[in-house]
Amino acid sequence: MNSPTGVIIGEDGLARPPWAAQDPLMRQYYDTEWGMPVRDEHGLFERLSLECFQSGLSWATILRKREAFRAAFRQFDPDVVSAFGEKDVERLMADSGIVRNRAKILATINNAAATIALRADGGLVDFIWSFQPAETPAPRTLAEIPTVSEASTALSKALRKRGFAFVGPTTMHALMEATGMIDTHLVDSHRRGSSGVWQTR
């Protein structure tokens, strides 16, 4: 059942946005993971990498390939990925289980090295979370959900200065949504406020 605000009421009686209402995998991701805080380097590097690969594609495509990505990139261990060489790049380019985009593969290896370099200044987690805005959006309709913000633009610029690639403002906004830095759940969604980071409103 559709709501005037854009949520869809599922058979379980719970309200979700359209992108999370049909596909069981997307629904599980939305109900259990999307928008929840990620505050460990390993987890945040994985999310950063997957958002990089998602650029220009649907998130459902990336989510279906997630386990293959984890295997191909050695569980997204920055220390391991940063040491990948040309043989690893060719291995990844031949791996049909992932998105075979050479520029994105090279960016992920590069970003692993940049993640390691950030450890000297407090680490990836503190760096990214330092861009958490003072307020979060409170969208009541699909049209009110932003796709970019001042905070995501600032984060993008800061990461680029630190040597990261494929970290544009829209991609960083998606990362901020996915990791709980902002709450863009529709106000009527059953997940609104579930992260514990923001007051429900």
DSSP string spanning the chain? Answer: -B-TTS-EE-TTS-EE-GGGTS-HHHHHHHHHTTT----SHHHHHHHHHHHHHHTTS-HHHHHHTHHHHHHHTGGG-HHHHTT--HHHHHHHHT-TTS---HHHHHHHHHHHHHHHHHGGGT-HHHHHHTT--SS----SSGGG--S--HHHHHHHHHHHHTT--S--HHHHHHHHHHTTSS--S-TTSTTTTTTSSS---
Tell whether 42 is in a known binding site. Answer: no
Active site residues per annotation: 29, 51, 59
Annotated binding residues for Zn(2+), as ranges?
A: 185
Annotated binding residues, as ranges?
A: 185
